[in-house]
Structure 1
Amino acid sequence: MGGMRLTLLPGPPVTFKARLHDARTATAIGRFLGLAMVLCFATGVLSHFLQHPPGWLADRLPSRPYWGYRLTQGLHVASGTAAIPLLSAKLWAVYPRLFAWPPVRSVLHALERISVAGLVAAALFELSTGLLNTFQWYPWPFDFVAVHYAVAWLLLGSLLLHLAVQWPAIRDHFTRRSPGTLSLPEADGPDRRRFLLGVTAAVGSVTLTTAGQSVTALGPLELFGPRSPAHGLQGLPVNRTAAAAGVTRISTADWRLTVDGPRPVTLTLEELRAMPQYEAVLPLACVEGWSKSAHWAGVRVRDLLERAGGGPGSRARVVSLEAAGAYRVMEMGRLYAQDPLTLLALRLNGEVLSLDHGYPARIIAPNRPGVLQTKWVGRLEVL
């Protein structure tokens, strides 16, 4: 054994003969995968800007339509879910190219392989971490929001590079229906139409059985959604409980709302209830993809800002009673703070807020991510 040495000699890879490993199959799937990924990217960037708006954008983000975030985030999660079986089918159709010999034939070929490596790695990362986020499971040491956002741009760059390198083959496919560079010898195998129908069925199944968490009409089909809006305290699910936030009935026993501005004011719960009360039916739409409309009642935020000396162009900062948390402090741009639908809510679906839903008071505003609908509000500041 000591004198033996094994040597791996270079040679041609295994020949793949199945007819479905070709350009027609890959292109047919790629069209829908590209559409899903572009939609997922666009709605994801919008969600990121709504959660973490740069200074120049904060006062320009619209508060209407009031259902806007419910629609865009529902599309984000649905398109990302649909992309999972599409990406799997696409990789199956093109994986023989991983065994192409020689590995690099030219500078252009090297760019193509780099773009594919970046595209596949970024897509797998985005879809897997995004799926785990819908379950609120984070088995990694990094900040999900920041890294997920950064890798999305890496994915876009890899896609653009890939399209640029592959443009001649794409052009040939659409103009001459040429089999292109992905073609492999045809042999007996599953029919392409059956394969594409199977992929379509897989996409439809995973989408329809999860989209009910944000599309009310699909609620009866929601078998695998991580959260069912049909179940929850006071008719609304709870993401972050009072116990998780460290808020108790004892800590809210002597609660006062401080509204800080040119004319600071402190209000008790009874004084807030004595102010003009307004009602609104608004959805609570969470970044995990679920959403549900509810009936809210309380005091308009703009009335509170005005009482503390804020003008018609005032923005607001909201501080929660919770001791720690990524969204313990939240800021509202002018359009949100001055919208008559933005409430410091005291009641939910005709009942006093439960502790898990933000008692004694919480924010509810139109077209906002759920993480910015601050619960257990202790302080408002005029900006």
Structure 2
Amino acid sequence: MCVRMHFNIDLNVLKSKYKCNKIFNDDKLKRGMINKKNYVPIIFESVENSTSKEKIINVCLWGISPFTYGKIEKDFALINARLETLHIKKSFSVLINKNRCAVVVNGYFEWMGNEGSSKKIPYYIYNDNTNNKNELKIEKEEWNNVESDKFKSDNEDNDRKIKKDEDKKQGNVQVKEEIEDKVKEEIEDKEKEINEEQEDQLVDENSHKRKKVIKEETFTKKIKKELSDEVDNLNNIENNENEKKQEKCSYIILAGLYTVSNDQKKECRNTIITTSSENTNLQDIHERCPLLLSENTLSLWLDVEKKYTDIIDKVKEEHIIMSSQLKFREVQNWNDFANYTKEDKKDSILKYVKKNENN
């Protein structure tokens, strides 16, 4: 299943990278944790005037209305669609040829059952693509082509963050060097002190030498242990920072379907396609997972001239490859994914998380 996602990507980045022509409803977007009936950006291909194709980004509501909408009283929102029954269920079969979309997010969440407890353990699942050439980065030329003040401000913020990270790394190196210098000085001072004591005490020379050697070895071991602990601590801090940085720049492309209710594309909804997680590294967490797209199958999936039956086998093959790149870790602090303002924190995601853990 896919019931929670994390999105923290600038829309202009998506627009530039995937050569999209327009962005709709960007005022509805809130970065952070996204759940049912929240707004999330999707990318789809549209044919204008039946002549030219163009890619569009639309910030739309997560959860499409079922085929029976209007015939029942309850307002259902279908956030997931099973790949195995897309061509059978009317809610999805009318969309699989002309209304395919892609959802680019940083990662998504899944809850794994815990033996001996009714509570489920939340995991964050993301892509290990920090060394991928297709990573969502903005080149200098792309920055110059975007005239949005907000976009330029984001660039400056990113530069400051990068400089801050580099300064912190440099600071860690300096701290390590200072610790090593300090240890050397303390050892030299101690050796000098021991030598002075040796000169003053001539009685029982052999015994004194033995004591001196033992004392020196004990002191050296103590200092080396302290140095090792300090270095390990710095390395752990650096590893944690690298892991968070990796998660932040990571992204995955989820296959989906969408509906648009009018020509202005103001009322848009989407659903995420899921498939079996069997034979993937996610099968121990949950039996279902989102259908993943690669950069290669993305263009196939969005192409409105391609029939679903002609492309789905290729998409499935690439899904297996993409799923093997996914990494996951247990969620320790939900605030890491809550990119809200202080006012928004009153409606904290933690309330929803508590409900989910009891399910």
Choose between structure 1 and 2 for higher RCO, CA contacts under 8 A separated by at least 6 residues.
2
- Shorter-normalised TM-score: what interval? under 0.3
TM-score when normalising by structure 1: 0.19
TM-score when normalising by structure 2: 0.20
